[in-house]
Amino acid sequence: MMGPAHSLSGAAAWLGVGAATAAAGYPMPWPVLVVGALICAGAALAPDLDHKSATISRAFGPLSRALCGAVDALSHAVYKATKMRGDAHRSGGHRTLTHTWVWAVLVGAGMSLLAVQGGRWAVLGILFVHMVLAIEGLLWRAARVSSDVLVWLLGAAAAWILAGVLDEPGNGAGWLFTDPGQEYLWLGLPIVLGALVHDIGDALTVSGCPVLWPIPIGRKRWYPVGPPKGMRFRAGSWVEIKVLMPVFMLLGGIGGLGALGYLG
C-alpha cells in the first residue's frame, strides 16, 4: 500500500486497541489514545525504510534518504544470507527484513528501552520522529506542498506539547507499566503495531509480504504471505484509495468513540 493508507490503517489499529481495552474495563487515558494513534500512524510508514522512493525517504531530507539506502543494503544482505532454494533472486532489499515480525518486535523493544533509559530527551526524540511521519502520512497532500522545515517544526511542537500533557499525573506516562522507572515503556507498543499493520497491508497487494520470516514455508524462508491472488490489488489502485482508505477512517472513528466510552 501507499503511505497515506498505511498511516490511516495504523491510526485506526491503535484506536481499535483503545476501544478493546475500554471494553475490557481498562480504558486508556485520552492522551495515550491520541499519542498512540499518532505514533502508530507514523510507525506504519517505517518498514519502507528499505525503499528509496517511499514517503519516509523524504521525511527528513538527505538524512532519511541516506538511511533508506543503508537499510536497503542491509535488508538485501540479510535476504541473500538466509534465503532458501525456493526463494527468488533479488537485486534489492525492499519488502524483506523490515517487513517481518522480527523487525517489528526488535524496533518496538528498542524504542521502549530507549524511552526508559534515555529520559525525557529520548522520549521527545521518539515523539518527534513519529509526529513528522504521521504528518507526512495523514496530511500527505499538505506535507508535499509545504516546506520540510515547516513539517519538522510542526512535529517538534506536537512532540513537546504531547510530552508535557503525558507527564501530567494520571495522563499516561506510566500507563500499563506502573512501577517506578517504567514511564514511557509502553511507547514501543504502537511502534510494533504500526509495523505489523504495514506488513498486513502490504500482504494484501500483488507482491504479498514475507511477514513470517525466518519461519520456513516449503522451500522458502521469504514466503510472500497474502490472500488468494484474485483478492489482491496493486498499491495505489482504486481499491486502496476508494475502498480501503474510507474504511480505515470509518473504523478509526468507531474505535475512537469506543475508546472514549461513547459507544458503551
Residue type, 4: P
In the chain, % of residues over pLDDT 70: 98
CB count in 10 Å sphere of residue 227: 10
Residues 6+ apart with CB under 8 A from 205: 1, 226, 232, 233, 234, 235
CA angle, corner 138, sides to 20 and 173, nearest 5? 50
pLDDT at 264 (0 to 100): 63
Residues composing the chain: 264
Nearest one of 95, 49, 55 to 68, comparing CA atoms: 49
pLDDT digits 0-9 by tens, 64-79: 999 999 999 999 999 9
pLDDT at 26 (0 to 100): 87
pLDDT at 177 (0 to 100): 86
pLDDT at 74 (0 to 100): 95
pLDDT at 47 (0 to 100): 94
CB count in 10 Å sphere of residue 157: 12
Low-confidence ranges of the chain (pLDDT < 70): 141, 143, 145, 264
pLDDT at 156 (0 to 100): 96
pLDDT at 145 (0 to 100): 65
Instruction: Measure the CA–CA gap between 118 and 101, rounded to whole angstroms.
Output: 25
Residue 105: HSE in the Cβ half-sphere, 13 Å Cα cutoff: 6
